[in-house]
Chain A
Amino acid sequence: MDASEEPLPPVIYTMENKPIVTCAGDQNLFTSVYPTLSQQLPREPMEWRRSYGRAPKMIHLESNFVQFKEELLPKEGNKALLTFPFLHIYWTECCDTEVYKATVKDDLTKWQNVLKAHSSVDWLIVIVENDAKKKNKTNILPRTSIVDKIRNDFCNKQSDRCVVLSDPLKDSSRTQESWNAFLTKLRTLLLMSFTKNLGKFEDDMRTLREKRTEPGWSFCEYFMVQEELAFVFEMLQQFEDALVQYDELDALFSQYVVNFGAGDGANWLTFFCQPVKSWNGLILRKPIDMEKRESIQRREATLLDLRSYLFSRQCTLLLFLQRPWEVAQRALELLHNCVQELKLLEVSVPPGALDCWVFLSCLEVLQRIEGCCDRAQIDSNIAHTVGLWSYATEKLKSLGYLCGLVSEKGPNSEDLNRTVDLLAGLGAERPETANTAQSPYKKLKEALSSVEAFEKHYLDLSHATIEMYTSIGRIRSAKFVGKDLAEFYMRKKAPQKAEIYLQGALKNYLAEGWALPITHTRKQLAECQKHLGQIENYLQTSSLLASDHHLTEEERKHFCQEILDFASQPSDNPGHKIVLPMQSFAQLRDLHFDPSNAVVHVGGVLCIEITMYSQMPVPVHVEQIVVNVHFSIEKNSYRKTAEWLTKHKTSNGIINFPPETAPFPVSQNSLPALELYEMFERSPSDNSLNTTGIICRNVHMLLRRQESSSSLEMPSGVALEEGAHVLRCSHVTLEPGANQITFRTQAKEPGTYTLRQLCASVGSVWFVLPHIYPIVQYDVYSQEPQLHVEPLAVQRTSGPKCAGISPCQQASSQPCSGVLQFCSDPVYWSWCQMSQDSLLAGIPQKVKFTVTTGHYTIKNGDSLQLSNAEAMLILCQAESRAMVYSNTREQSSDAALRIQSSDKVTSISLPVAPAYHVIEFELEVLSLPSAPALGGESDMLGMAEPHRKHKDKQKTGHCMVTTDHKVSIDCPWSIYSTVIALTFSVPFRTTHALLSSGTRKYVQVCVQNLSELDFQLSDSYLVDTSDSTDLQLVPLNTQSQQPIYSKQSVFFVWELKWTEEPPPSLHCRFSVGFSPASEEQLSISLKPYTYEFKVENFFTLYNVKAEIFPPSGMEYCRTGSLCSLEVLITRLSDLLEVDKDEALTESDEHFSTKLMYEVVDNSSNWAVCGKSCGVISMPVAARATHRVHMEVMPLFAGYLPLPDVRLFKYLPHHSAHSSQLDADSWIENDSLSVDKHGDDQPDSSSLKSRGSVHSACSSEHKGLPMPRLQALPAGQVFNSSSGTQVLVIPSQDDHVLEVSVT
């Protein structure tokens, strides 16, 4: 645009600009329709189709209607768009052909020619029709003719360039219609014109841009051209398009700068490289900064001017577009960019000038945004603006430092000169802001005016920034600004104000483990604390810094020296301690116990060796290293015995400590994992569970305050424990790195000692490790001398050697023996369950003696005095030796044992042993088998079923008979005697039985081995103790030696023979020699095993024979048919002693007795018909016979055993004296009858009847005269038909097969 060539009508660059439309023709007519036109035109939007594929837009059109003048038409090459007339309208209301021909046509022609001359094709002819006029003039042609004429004359092929507007001022539907058509036409033509003209403009502009590589091309010129387009878009309210124009200009310029930096310089760019002389910041309060625009136009603008102007335009458009936050964002980018561009272009900038420019610009942008937004909007968009605040703060800070406003003394003359220069560059305040109190200009000027004002402004800004950052959760940023602020306060010698910011920043960095910022902040903090005189904090920070590998060696040494210097200062308060956490000073790496199980007896020596890793850069002399120990007495004294402790602590004695601070701190959400352990507290006496629970072992790590976990700077968290028990190591020099320190302690009180704290003192400085974790404990125990006597496990032969396994063995469980533990303390003794065989009687058994010396020292001559038990021998062996162990079983020696036996006392002299040792030796003892109780009479019962009886017995009793031998022992350490009971089990159980065959009698002895051992039996004897010469016992056993395996039985049988009348009872003694099968030779001869028993009434008196015959005429018995049962009872002897009882009656020198028979079929094979029992009078004479007939019916077919026939003695009711006399036998009878009840199934009618007899029998005790039944002893009745069977065939019509399924 050639501004200088012709005076343009002043263009007002505001939103009031509208596209120009000229009006020619009848001005009065136009004036009359103008109000309606200008009102109606923008009412309806019109779609604007764009070129170059740009999206179509709906647009509300407005126009500035001006009178047509030739001057308005642009000349060739004119690039002004704002003054460009987009449409030319000719107005006429001519309806008279004459008038038309006379004036209008000429006028139109002239108008058209002018337009043609300027090659303007955007025109329109409007013919306004008026009905009123028509009526007045009668000779008028039809309206169409004029329109046609005009179209014909002017609108060559462009008939749409002529429109008719009918009665525009009337209010009729026709008028409305006409207006609408006209307006549509007008809008369409306007848009067509825009498209065409703007398109052409853009093309020209692009052509111009393409020439940018040509020499002489001017960016400023191009700028003006493209801005013209932007203005038009703005005029059309297409702000987006307008913004695009500026953005393109921005990008183009940026690219040039970048290219310049790359060495591809454009000539025109050198204009922008002039030294910066003015830095008055952005101006955003005017829509267009004409001043700057003109300077661009004149090509005098500096880079900052261009950027400022460009940004102000962008800002204006963005605000039109309601995007204030983009302004803020773009502003920050712009400011950064400008700084970079100036650097890139190597523009000379006075120091501080850019800071001023940036500061002013930031505030200007912020104020501009604040000016167009309400408070709530601003508050919710802090994230967008805070960057500018922060940038402004930063810039003000650097200005402050530059102008000497931060130093303590205030600015010097150089600083003042600089300040004056800077203020000069600001120039005078612009009129727009002159009245604003808080304008950026005023603020900057004031801030640079004095130290106090600067401080005020800087603090205001900093606090505002911190607050804003905090409010939007940008804590890191807030802390970072705070750190700057702290630096400022430190400069201003206000460390008390700086501290909080430094702590805040440090905490923030610590929480996320940023090592370098941590180190730096700590360094600042150390200085701050030093100024504040916070000695403890300073020393602590110093210790952290001294161990900080991010510092140089020199720095570390400095901080270490600070601590050492302080420590060596003579303190005015000698007792005063400065307690610091140990961690930064040194770290506990591992700990090693000697003895390794960390258990030591009272008086014993315990060594603890720790490895401390010194973090200090120089060797540090430590006066003492102290471990505070917590002592607790365990209630459970058993747990303190050497036995328990050695059993339960099998660690190697080395405890490793995890490094306390991992290289990355544990963040809040990843706390250390819970270390949970199950805890069982058992009862000391029987090992039963008392309590159970869960223990968390790292509570102190989990439950500490969150703050202290991230900030290790708080010394208040470390408390020095004062305990009575300490381990101490004095005068140690800790070299940098690992150091071994050994603590040695003599154990005193028994209990558990827990290492709690580790302290190292350097002068008055104490470094404390408040918790030693994992928990480290050692135990000190005191033990009373104890004597344990326990059987040594019997060496078992490996299982039964025979193939058959008796059911007994399967049922047997491992025998358990309870062993009493005795110690000298008579109150204290406990059972200890031991799963091992007990001692066996009869053979030599080993017993283990364990003497735990505890605190007692065994002196020469100390001995155990055992009072001998009668039936237990202590077998002395010549070469007995005792083993002596230390409590930990580490060392051992053996010594000879002297055993001296006298009648009453066996004395064992103990070898000399120091305290807390164990003496072990073995003794052989032999329990003499005492005569067992007489074999129970009951074993003899039930001659008929001896096997069953035997089996029952086995079932119930497979436990060995035991005998306890009590031995009283005098121990040298106690005045009390201790009594120990040794339990011996008899390995055998013996039963006997009487067997009959008619009148021949046999005695069977069954020996059952209940033990786990195999034995060899030899020399079995059965002797009659009553020594009746008449009786002979003939052994039927062939072998003299016989093995008896574990859990197996051996039977021995003797036949009884006599010549005269046999004795009513027989006393026998069975004896058999035995020895363990495994041992070849025993040192001593063993006593045989004996068993005594008595057999009574063994002589057979009656023979019972039963026979069943088929019904007469039949060959076989059939089911369901009655058969006859014949029972023959024969007396086998004459009157004997045993017959002499109440049932015996004498008449005519003939004796007879009363017997009751009973037929019982337990297996329900037979139904006894009629009487099943009866009483007979039996003559007591040999071969006296009684015959009984009965009817029985077989219920099943097959070979059926005969029903049982039983005989009882039928006793008349008691006379008074006999009942007393025979009281014992009554009891026996009673028990028998009960027994009988138990054996028999009460399933037959016969049994019931007998039951009644029994009840009668029992009631007889009360004196009622009732007869009684007495079973005949098994030996007296021989059933000769037992075992016989009868063939029963099924009845012929019995075809029913019964199958029952259960």
Chain B
Amino acid sequence: MAVCIEVIAKENYPFYIRSTPTENELKFHCMVHTSLDVVDEKISAMAKALVDQRELYQDLLYPTEDYKVYGYLTNSKVKFVMVVDSSNTALRDNEIRSMFRKLHNSYMDVVQPLLQPGGLHPVQGL
């Protein structure tokens, strides 16, 4: 299980945050926020490479001693960030990927009807 899941807007403000040990919420927020640096780097690297982004999974963004932060980027640049306890060795790359895919599907189910025409930009405040 991931300890924290965040959905972050294209403009980098959080849409949705859920973390399981709530006492550490602030730490997760800071961690995820900091990891956006890496996501930004990846996005700009993708833009420079001028390649179509096919791989949504962004790999390990930000390893720390206790947690691993994984990223996932939708085509509309909505970011999913997942924090996983480092001691949880059961979670390999494939598990993380499939969790992200599930998260993406759920997100689309929620957000799809609210997409604004003309841009894949979900309504603010969702």
Residue positions of A touching B, CB distance < 8 A: 258, 261-262, 332-333, 335-336, 339-340, 343-344, 383, 469, 472-477, 480, 483, 509, 512-517, 520, 662-665, 667, 669-670
Contact = CB atoms under 8 A, between A and B. Distances in A.
B37 A517 contact: no
17 contacts: A258-B89, A332-B63, A335-B65, A339-B65, A340-B65, A340-B87, A473-B41, A474-B41, A480-B33, A509-B33, A514-B13, A514-B29, A514-B33, A517-B33, A663-B125, A667-B12, A667-B13
B59 to A, nearest CB: 12
A665 B37 CA distance: 19
B124 A664 contact: yes
Nearest to A518: B29
Contact of A336 (B11, B25, B65): B65
Given A340-B65, A474-B37, A664-B125, A512 B13 contact: yes
Nearest to B121: A670
B26 A333 contact: no
Contact of A662 (B11, B65, B124): B124
A332 B63 CA distance: 8
Given A336-B63, A336-B64, A664-B13, A476 B37 contact: yes
A514 B63 contact: no
B9 interface: yes
B13 A665 contact: yes
A704 B26 CA distance: 31
B30 interface: yes
Cβ-closest 4 pairs across A and B:
A513-B13, A474-B37, A667-B11, A516-B29
Interface in B3-17: 9, 11-14
Nearest to A508: B33
Contacts of A477: 34, 37
B93 interface: no
Given A476-B37, A515-B14, A664-B125, 5 more contacts: A512-B12, A512-B33, A517-B33, A665-B13, A667-B12
B97 to A, nearest CB: 19
Contacts of B89: 258, 261-262
Interface string B25-42: 110011001101110110
Interface residues of B, number: 25
Contacts of B33: 476, 480, 509, 512, 514, 517
B86 interface: yes
Contact of A333 (B37, B40, B63, B125): B63
A475 B124 contact: no
A517 B41 contact: no
A336 B41 contact: no
B14 A343 contact: no
B25 A516 contact: yes
A678 to B, nearest CB: 25
A670 B13 CA distance: 13
B34 A476 contact: yes
Nearest to B28: A516
A514 B14 contact: yes
A340 B41 CA distance: 28
A662 B13 CA distance: 12
Contacts of A665: 13
Interface string B89-125: 1000000000000000000000000000000000011
A513 B40 CA distance: 17
Nearest to B9: A664
Nearest to A516: B29
Interface in B26-85: 26, 29-30, 33-34, 36-38, 40-41, 63-66
A664 B26 CA distance: 17
B30 A480 contact: yes
A327 to B, nearest CB: 16
A1241 B59 CA distance: 101
Contacts of A514: 13-14, 29, 33
Nearest to A339: B65
A491 B8 CA distance: 33
Contacts of B13: 512-514, 664-665, 667
A343 B11 contact: no
Contacts of A667: 11-13
Contacts of A520: 26
Contacts of A332: 63
B14 to A, nearest CB: 6
A513 B12 CA distance: 8
A261 B87 CA distance: 9
Contacts of A669: 11
Contacts of A517: 26, 29-30, 33
B72 to A, nearest CB: 18
B11 A480 contact: no
Contacts of A663: 125
A336 B64 CA distance: 7
Contacts of B65: 335-336, 339-340
Nearest to B8: A512
Contacts of A343: 87
Contact of B37 (A336, A475, A664): A475
B17 to A, nearest CB: 8
Given A333-B63, A516-B26, A670 B11 contact: yes
Contacts of B36: 476, 512
A515 B14 CA distance: 9
A664 B9 CA distance: 10
A335 B38 CA distance: 20
Contacts of B11: 512, 667, 669-670
Contacts of B26: 516-517, 520
Contacts of B34: 476-477, 480
Contacts of B41: 383, 472-474
A660 B126 CA distance: 18
A40 B19 CA distance: 67
B126 to A, nearest CB: 10
A303 to B, nearest CB: 15
A333 B68 CA distance: 11
Contacts of A512: 11-13, 33, 36
A475 B86 CA distance: 25
B89 to A, nearest CB: 5
A349 to B, nearest CB: 13
Contacts of A516: 25-26, 29
Contacts of B66: 340
Nearest to B36: A476
Nearest to A254: B89
Contacts of B9: 664
A340 B124 CA distance: 40
B4 to A, nearest CB: 12
Nearest to A343: B87
Contacts of B125: 662-664
B29 to A, nearest CB: 4
B85 to A, nearest CB: 10
Nearest to A354: B65
Nearest to B29: A516
Nearest to A475: B37
Contacts of A509: 33
A398 to B, nearest CB: 11
Nearest to B11: A667
A841 B104 CA distance: 84
B120 to A, nearest CB: 15
A338 to B, nearest CB: 10
A235 B42 CA distance: 39
A472 B41 CA distance: 9
A736 B113 CA distance: 36
A670 B119 CA distance: 13
Nearest to A258: B89
A258 B90 CA distance: 9
Contacts of B124: 662, 664
A680 B19 CA distance: 56
A900 B112 CA distance: 79
A868 B26 CA distance: 91
B30 A513 contact: no
B30 to A, nearest CB: 5
A513 B6 CA distance: 13
